[in-house]
Structures are given as C-alpha cells and as structure tokens.
Chains A and B, each alone.
Chain A
C-alpha cells in the first residue's frame, strides 16, 4: 500500500463517516463535529490531488469559521437546539425525492464500480495547485468575480448583523420617584403599618393616596 493510497483511504473513511454522523446524530453539536471530520477529510483529499492552496483554505474557512459559527449558534440556542417535537411521517414529496436521489446514486455507484474504464491522473508539475498558480488563475482570468465575491462577503456580513439583531423597544415600566417605593415595591411608611390593603397592592394604594 502506497502512502497516497493510505491517505486516500483514511480521508475517504473520515469523509463518509463524518457525513453519516452529521446526518444521523440527534444532537446538533455532534453533527457539527461530524461536519468538522468531513471537512478535514476533504482537506486531506485536496492534498492528495495536489491542491495545497485549497486544502489550506478548506481548513481555514470551513473548520476555522463555518464550524465555529455553527457551534456558537448551537451554544446560543442552548437545549432548544435539539428540541424538535416529534411529527408524523415525512411528506410524500420529501420521501419521493429522497428515494429518487438514493436510486440515482445507487445506479451511478454501481455503474462506476462495474465499469472497467479508468481515467488515471496525469503527472503534473510541482506548480499545480500552489498559491501562485491558483492566484495567477484567479487574478488573470477571474478578477471581476473575485471583486464581486468581496462585495458579496461584505453584504453578507452586514446582512447577517441586520437580520440577527433584535429591535430594542423602550421599556415601559412606570417611573417611580420615591426610592422606598422603588426598593420595596411599595411605600414603607409608619402610618401604613397594620392597615388593610382592601385588595390593592401597596403601590396602588400609595399612588391613590398621593394624588388625593
């Protein structure tokens, strides 16, 4: 077994296992960890495919930003993140589409396994997939999309803040000037000792007698 084959086998096992863990686990934090496993597996496969720049980007952006964002939101939601009330069976459309996708994938996988025709990768030079080569491709042939991506990112950040922030309403608590009232939720006067409240609160009685 060559080192390349070993890397491919380990990383593909990590990918499929992590993907299954993501979809099957009931706790979203475990799903996030499964997603992290898949991302690291795919970064390893990128290394096997001579795409070292993309492997670094994969770890930086996905493992460093996306999964951390997921974990933050799960922690913000607390226990409600996994509280999904049990419903009836899924809708017919969802089951049909899921089954159809599974069938198509099964046919595809079997046809790939059966076919004897294999396309081996050619030998590429050392510059394949380096920062320099990918950067040259992006800046020489995709400068406008690159600049549009910067605009997209800033719009997404501003949009995320605008969507996620709550509208702060001014609190409509009654203003109580008397510090005694504020502290004890009612007046603490010597003449009030032992007087019946007649169904009112201390605060209400204080307000009515203050105006009288």
Chain B
C-alpha cells in the first residue's frame, strides 16, 4: 500500500511534466496536423538556458525565488523565440507540401537543435545549483517534497490558464476556428499565420516551464534530454487524443501514473528479473495499445468530427 501511494504521488509529478509538454504537441497538431518532433528539444533548451542563468546567478546574494524568476524570465522568451523560428523557417515553407515532408523536417530540426545544444553546452550533464531547500513531507506513509508539490501546483495553474485562454479569449476562438477549418477561418477575417505562430509560441512557453521543472526535479539537464521526454509527451498526447487539449492533460497525468506504478511493481511482477529502470517500456506499451485499440485516444474524436 505504501508503495502504491508513493508511486501514485511520483506519477502525479511526472504526469504533470508530461502534460505540459504534451500540450505543445497537441496544440500544433490540432491546428496544422503536424507532429512537431522538435518540441522535446524546445523543452531541453528551456532547461539549459535556465540552468545557465542560474549558474551565473548562483554566486550572487539574491534570494533563490528571485533567481528562479529571473531564470524563467530568460528561458521562457528564449523558448518562445525558438518555437516561433522553427515554425517560420522549417514548417511554413512546407505548408502546402505533402504531409510527409514537414514530418521529416521536424525530425531534422530536432537533430539540429540537439547538436547545437551539444556545441553550446557540451556533452556532459549540467546540474541544477543547490539553491532550493528541499523539504520532505509525509503523507500517509508516502513522501513528497516541496519541489514536487510546486511542480504539480504550478502545472495545474498553467493548464487552467491555458484552458481559459482557449475557451474564453479572442485568440482562443481564432485558434479553435483555425483548427476546425483553416480556410474558412481565414475567410472570416482570421490571420491564420498569426494564429499558427501564436500556437507555437504558447506551446514553447509551456515547454520552457516544463524544462525548468524537469531540471529542478532531477537536478540535471542534458543536451539529449528532450528526445525521450518528447517521445513520452507525444505518447501522452496520443493517449489523450491528439489535437485535444484536455486530452493532453489527461493523457499526461495517466501516462505518468502508469509509468510510476509500472516501475514500482515491475520487479515483483517479473520475480526480480526486470528492475525499475525498465519503466520506459510502459510508455511505449501504452502507445502501441492505444494505436491498436483506440487510435483516436481517450477524448479524441477529431477525425469522426470531420467525416
């Protein structure tokens, strides 16, 4: 029972991170039907930029909260600029190309960004400076740290804000209209290119926050960290129904919980043959099962809507 609750809490934290990243995949897919495989690298850039800023600030007498705020204030615009540029340079020229072309380009952008990051930040792990006092709280026999609580709370706040943005604002309406029918949205006065840019920029801002959280959670960042994280978040988006925003949130949380519980019990299940470092197989098991049995995902019905 202790293990169950502990893994559930860990899964919630992991799932919040997946959800934030999955939103970037799903928003872009919803509007362009493009899988932006470079999105994981945007998360990595967010983490790297934030750690670089924190490294510079670490010697100063600023309070840790101010350092984190400054790091975010640099990392978020950096990621927004990256996302904006990716769309302009790599995807917009291919807007009318067959769908395979932008997909291959996305993989190319991902490789380019990884290599640029490797040149800038090197091959070694970059560590998160020890500026947060980690407190451990006990909850019914399980433990959770203040960092974990902050991650879950902040992710929930950001996701609530995103839902409000999409459902209640002028830009949100334009985004939904563009997702449903780009041509008609344009004929009704919506500047579709601006909406698409805004979508990339907003998704990249979420990615920056997620990158900082991942770095704070694991205490590390690495130029290749975006690859696996991106694949997991993509899986989460597919699980929830790609193109569907609440779906990405649900899919992220579920995937985090499935992975954590899987990692917690895989040793028992296999009689000790497989250890918890095999937790990655659960994400991809989920991906395969969803693609086979419910390709539209848990909340997705976009394709049915269009028919």
A and B: real partners? no
Residues of B within 8 A of A (CB): none
